[in-house]
Structure formats: structure tokens, C-alpha cells
Amino acid sequence: MKRKQCKKMLSVVLAALLLTAFLPLFGTARAVSQREAILLVAAAELGYHEKASNQYLNSKTANSGDRNYTKYGAWYGMNPAAWCAIFVCWCAHQTGLSAEAFPRFALCVDDSYPTSGSRQFKDMGRWEGRDYVPEPGDLIFLSQGHVGLVESVTETEIVSIDGNWGDRVQRVTRPLGDSGIAGFGLPLYDETVSIDPETLPLSADEEEAPEVSSGGELKFDFFQRILQWFRDLFAKLFGR
């Protein structure tokens, strides 16, 4: 009787130690800033390819073509349409950023139009020239009429996530101070806001993403397997 009680107590103690050791690995993800959140949303779209027609808009690769049909254009109300600007605005919307903090625009660089991206950021006093060193979350505007979302910056390069670059969403690397840069738009991020990344509507390909269990089910299954392993170990050490 005492032997059984001892085994039971040891199992409980070891289970408690395991829970204490592993629980931090499965705790709530750290809160992120608005800048970090919009980049998480944009990165989840990498590989999305524009469509040949107004079908399979939510799939990253199905119905791929060069006709400018996208889920971003469908959200904006312009489909088909050139979509680099619409893409970054869609990312802002998914992050919960207001139009006052992150202007909505479909035309990138043309100050003669009051609703263009360059004009709106200049009117806000949130525009910087080519020599500016951007921060992640800023917008990089090109003279050719293109915009991307700055992801990272080194001493020599700018890496951005761009929509409608090669007909898809992809990372692009450009030299810092490149002559093709028209300037930078600086969204009005609220640095005091913290966002739980688990609440972000990160995209998954409707056709290709495998079905996965919920986070709670995965955690429960993991601990069940660990506890079963220790039960088996005690059975071998002490007998049944």
C-alpha cells in the first residue's frame, strides 16, 4: 500500500514540475506594437499571386495570372486594379489602423491628386525624402509609381514587403538612398498600443493550408503525452 502511495505521489510531483517547466513555452505570445503587427499581417501574405479572373481570390496560388484580380482589390472596391497601394492599405485595415493614422490610397505618387499616397502623407506632415533612414512599418514610395512596406533596414539596404511586385506579394531589397526612391510615408502609429498577435487575422491559403488543431487542443495533447511517458517509466521502474 505504501509503495503504491509513494509511486502516486512521485507521479504527481513530477507532473507538477513538468507543468511548471513547460507552461511558459505555451503561454500567451508577447504583445506587439502596431508597427510589428502590420508587418506580421504583411508577411502572412508573402507568395500571394494575382489572379487571371475574379475567382479563387483567397487562395495564394490558385487561378494565378496577370490580370490584377486580388482579394485586396475586392476589399478596396477596385477589382481588377493595380494593387501595390491597395495591398499596404489592406494590411493597415487588417491591423485595425484608422484612415487617419494610415491614409487609404490607390494612387502612389502624384501630388496633383489630393487622395494620392504622397499627397496625403505630405498634408499630414508625415513625409520624408530619399535620404531619410526609414523604420520598419514606414512606407517606401518609388518614383515609378509603386509603394512597399519597410520590413527592415541595414546600413546599406532596405528590405520591404511589396504587393504587385512581379504580380505577387514578395520581399524586395533596395539600396539605402536609391535614386528610384521618391520618399517615405510615415504612418501615425500609436506607440502606446499593444496588440496580442493571436488576435490578428493572419491569412492562410484556403486551398493549401492543412487543418490544424486549436492551440488549446495542442497544449493538452502535448502534456498528455508527457504524463503518459512518465507513467510508462514508473511502470518499468517499480512494476504495476
| 133-141: average pLDDT | 98
Band of the pLDDT at 207, cuts 50, 70, 90?
low
Average pLDDT, the chain: 85
Place 203 in a pLDDT band, splitting at 50, 70 and 90: confident
CATH architecture assigned to 34-199 = Alpha-Beta Complex (3.90)
Please give the pLDDT value at position 220: 44
CB 203, CB 44: distance < 8 Å: yes
* In the predicted structure, residue 13 carries a pLDDT above the cut 60: no
Q: Is pLDDT at 107 greater than 90 in this prediction?
A: yes
| 5 C-beta neighbours (distance < 10 Å), count | 9
The mean pLDDT value for 105-129 works out to 98
Who's near 5: CB < 8 A, 6+ residues apart? none
Whole-structure pTM value: 0.76
* pLDDT mean over 135-158: 98
The three grid cell numbers given for residue 57, joined into one nine-digit string: 481570390
Tell me how crowded residue 28 is: count the other CB atoms within 10 A of its CB: 9
Which are the contacts of 132, defined by CB distance < 8 A and separation ≥ 6? 183, 184
Q: What is the pLDDT of residue 214?
A: 43
pLDDT for the residue 181: 98
> CA 59, 142, 97 angle in degrees (round to 5)?
55
Q: What is the pLDDT of residues 19-58, one digit of tens each?
A: 445 445 445 568 999 999 999 999 999 999 999 999 999 9
Could you tell me whether strands 170-175 and 127-128 are parallel, antiparallel, or unpaired per DSSP bridges? unpaired
Q: What is the pLDDT of residue 29?
A: 65
Helices (H) and strands (E) in the chain, counts: 6, 6
Enumerate the H helices of the chain as residue ranges: 2-22, 34-43, 71-76, 84-95, 117-124, 215-238
* Residue 210 pLDDT level (bands cut at 50, 70, 90): very low
Count of Cβ atoms closer than 10 Å to residue 82 Cβ: 17
Give the residue-averaged pLDDT of 162-188. 98
* Tens digits of residue pLDDT in 57-97: 999 999 999 999 999 999 999 999 999 999 999 999 999 99
**How high is the pLDDT of residue 177?**
96
Q: What is the pLDDT of residue 23?
A: 45
d(CA 9, CA 70): 60
Residue 155 contacts residue 165 (beta carbons within 8 Å): no
Q: In 74-156, which ranges are E strands?
A: 127-128, 139-142, 146-153
